[in-house]
């Protein structure tokens, strides 16, 4: 058994996020010191069989609440962004950022850059990277159109908890890809958003594989036709048809969507109340596949409900106790 950063984290911390790096899930947390976020984020790899224990601090407890995520600042030594902590360690009643950090954020305007949003020269270096347009379909057979940069492919789709996805275009810049996104969204009647809560519900109550496959096929076809029309007014892109493939770390999640002998995933109670502990076997997006000792009884944990909340570790937060073979 070994603890990960137990001495650094102490007992209380802010749960920041679960993201995917090199096709495997990682947890980012920020220690609480003297009742406030410490300003230093730590990354904890989630390995197969790792035990994760957590409790959300409740109203009335010291440091309880949801904290501002801080803001992104464009790098000056190459395309990309650096995350900086909120200077006032602000609590936020809704959303992810306090007004000050939202105003300072140099990444947020990217979503409106094709509409004339002003950006710093360093941020424009990122915008000018090659970008990709994709169609993602979820287990409830709904689909969305989205974008990924050269540096975030396939990580962007790994983070989305999709049932299936196809990259349908390569664009020379981020401005062009967002013009295409708006065009396809309008012309093919595809949303650009899908809330984590509805994604989660779709994963624990999926439609049949045939229904998901059919819905994705129709969405990709509609988007492809839209791209043909877009070519009359938008240049600088190339149509593609590249399927996204789940990673090994997503194996248990996608076993629930198999056409033959699917292995259902059970819903897990909300993490926002009480103590929780389980063995993680993988996941998809912000959802973890896990069990409490019997791998045959696997459930899906929605960690999106923990984002930016003050928490306490239960049993060392995350440590390896299992002899399960390493699959990713």
Query: In a structure prediction context, what are the per-residue pLDDT tens digits for the chain, which is 328 residues long?
Result: 234 445 445 579 999 999 999 999 999 999 999 999 999 999 999 988 999 999 999 999 999 999 999 999 999 988 899 999 999 999 999 999 999 999 999 999 998 999 989 899 999 999 999 999 999 999 999 999 999 999 999 999 999 999 999 999 999 999 999 999 999 999 999 999 999 999 999 999 999 999 999 999 999 999 999 999 999 999 999 999 999 999 999 999 999 999 999 999 999 999 999 999 999 999 999 999 999 999 999 999 999 999 999 999 998 777 665 445 454 5
| Dist. CA 143–CA 141, nearest whole Å | 6
Provide the whole-model pTM: 0.93
| Dist. CA 262–CA 31, nearest whole Å | 40
| Dist. CA 202–CA 182, nearest whole Å | 25
Tokens of 107: 């990444």
Through-space distance between the first and last CA atoms of the chain, rounded to whole angstroms: 19
């Amino acid at each position: 058994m070994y603890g990960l950063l137990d001495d650094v984290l102490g007992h209380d911390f802010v749960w920041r996020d679960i993201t995917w790096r090199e096709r495997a899930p990682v947890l980012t947390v920020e220690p609480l010191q003297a009742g406030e976020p410490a300003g230093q984020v730590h990354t904890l790899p989630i390995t197969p069989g790792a035990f994760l224990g957590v409790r959300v601090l409740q109203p009335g407890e010291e440091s309880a609440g949801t904290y501002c995520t801080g803001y992104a600042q464009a790098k000056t030594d190459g395309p990309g962004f650096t995350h900086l902590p909120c200077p006032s360690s602000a609590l936020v009643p809704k959303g992810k950022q306090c007004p000050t950090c939202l105003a300072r954020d140099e990444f947020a305007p990217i979503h409106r850059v094709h509409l004339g949003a002003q950006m710093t020269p360093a941020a424009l270096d990122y915008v000018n990277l090659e970008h990709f347009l994709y169609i993602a379909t979820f287990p409830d057979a709904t689909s969305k159109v989205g974008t990924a940069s050269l540096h975030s492919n396939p990580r962007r789709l790994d983070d989305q908890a999709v049932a299936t996805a196809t990259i349908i275009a390569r664009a020379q810049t981020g401005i062009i890809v967002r013009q295409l996104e708006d065009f396809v969204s309008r012309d093919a009647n595809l949303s650009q958003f899908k809330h984590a809560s509805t994604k989660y519900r779709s994963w624990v109550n999926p439609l049949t594989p045939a229904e998901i496959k059919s819905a994705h096929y129709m969405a990709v076809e509609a988007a492809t036709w839209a791209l043909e029309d877009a070519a009359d007014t938008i240049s600088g892109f190339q149509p593609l048809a590249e399927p996204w493939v789940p990673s090994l770390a997503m194996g248990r999640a996608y076993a629930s969507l198999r056409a033959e002998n699917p292995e259902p995933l059970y819903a897990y109670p909300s993490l926002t109340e009480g103590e929780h502990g389980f063995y993680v076997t993988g996941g998809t997006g912000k959802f973890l596949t896990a069990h409490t000792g019997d791998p045959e009884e696997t459930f899906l944990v929605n960690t999106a409900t923990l984002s930016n909340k003050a928490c306490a570790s239960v049993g060392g937060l995350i440590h390896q106790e299992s002899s399960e073979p390493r699959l990713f």
